[in-house]
Amino acid sequence: MNFKIALIKGDGIGPEIVDGALKVLEAVQKKHDFVLEYTEVLAGGIAIDRKGSPLPQETIDVCKASDAVILGALGGPQWDNLPGDQRPEAGLLELRKSLGLFANLRPAILFDELKDASPLKPEIIGEGLDVLVVRELTGDVYFGEKVKEDNAAWDKMIYTRPEVERIARVAFEIARNRKKILTSVDKANVLEVSRFWRSVVLEVAQEYPDVTLNHLYVDNAAMQLVINPAQFDVILTGNLFGDILSDEASMITGSIGMLPSASLGEGTLGMYEPIHGSAPDIAGQDKANPLATILSMAMMLRYSLNMEKAALEIENAVRKALQQGYRTVDIMSPGMKVVGCEEMANRVVENL
């Protein structure tokens, strides 16, 4: 069984964390007898430097012809002064759009071994924290009309019925296979687009009578995440609110270096990346945490390659490495064994 994988290592620590994840995938391939055929392409700052564009057409073509896309991290201070549509981040937005990736899945899972790293008190966290934010990726103010004048500027927040319906169905399907609780987050007390969002979500909810649907305004949702995060299972929201809430949820777990993500479209093609940035200040120093990227590979196996058992094995191998006391500097605590990026990946491989 062969799969085609587009490989975008990116900038900063991107190459290091991807290389660590590839070691883990190599071990899984041997164990489950399948083959991943990689084609490395460029995006982000390195693509600007070498190709003059944050997203060359070759990269789009290779990604479209693949079963999945692995992405490291994009960006860095050396490209900060470029116009917005020429910066590395613009390449990421365009890649999502070109591949039709509309659903961003961002799990916020607090491993028991890292409870001390959470900024929340143990009594607030409770027993285990496992929240999944389902964020719409192709609409909202990020893609609405943008206007800048001398004395004013505006970005249109737009959602169409098909856009809301399809992201809602993704969230309901996932919730159905978890705790059957879905919280839709909007700002329906103020925004017309949010009132429309809520009405469409309510319509889709009729197809899922087994899933409990709750609604929260985004400001209340932000507060509830730090007051009582255990009440949440799956959170459904738009592009802007999802961008903010998923970052908030991630920090509850103690380290942004631990959290994976998946961006999915209509079929099985997906793009898998850690939620953290390129961390240029530690690039090339073997200090990066590869676990978010490794856990993203588990999501790839689960959602694009339909290999649930292999995905679970990776997640268990990561958990075991934490139980064994291995830590990168970002999740270090007294009495633990600090290791670098490469060594942490090796420990996960050993556990597999």
Q: Which residues are catalytic?
A: 142, 187, 219, 243, 247
Strand partners, 114: none
Cα–Cα dist 317/27, whole Å: 11
Neighbouring C-beta atoms of residue 179, cutoff 10 Å: 13
| Torsion region of 134: left, alpha or beta (phi above 0 gives left; psi -120 to 50 gives alpha) | beta
CA angle, 289 as apex, 283 and 295 as ends, to 5°? Answer: 130
Count CB-CB contacts under 10 A for residue 242. 23
- Rounded to whole angstroms, how far apart are CA atoms 241 and 225? 13
What are the φ and ψ backbone dihedral angles of 89, each rounded to 5 degrees? -65, -30
The angle that helices 14-32 and 308-323 make with each other, rounded to 10 degrees, is 120
Measure the CA–CA gap between 197 and 65, rounded to whole angstroms: 33
Is 346 in contact with 23 (CB distance < 8 Å)? yes
Compute the distance between CA of residue 45 and CA of residue 11 in angstroms, rounded to an integer: 6
- Do residues 182 and 220 touch, judged by C-beta distance below 8 A? no
Structure tokens of 249? 């949820």
Q: Is 128 exposed, middle or buried (0-12, 13-18, 19+ CB in 10 A)?
A: exposed
Report how far residue 48's alpha carbon sits from residue 59's, in angstroms, rounded to the nearest whole number. 13
CB 289 within 8 A of CB 331: yes
Secondary structure class of 326 (helix, strand, coil): strand
Query: Could you give the dihedral angle defined by the CA atoms of residues 77, 292, 85 and 100, in that order, rounded to the nearest 10 degrees?
Result: 170
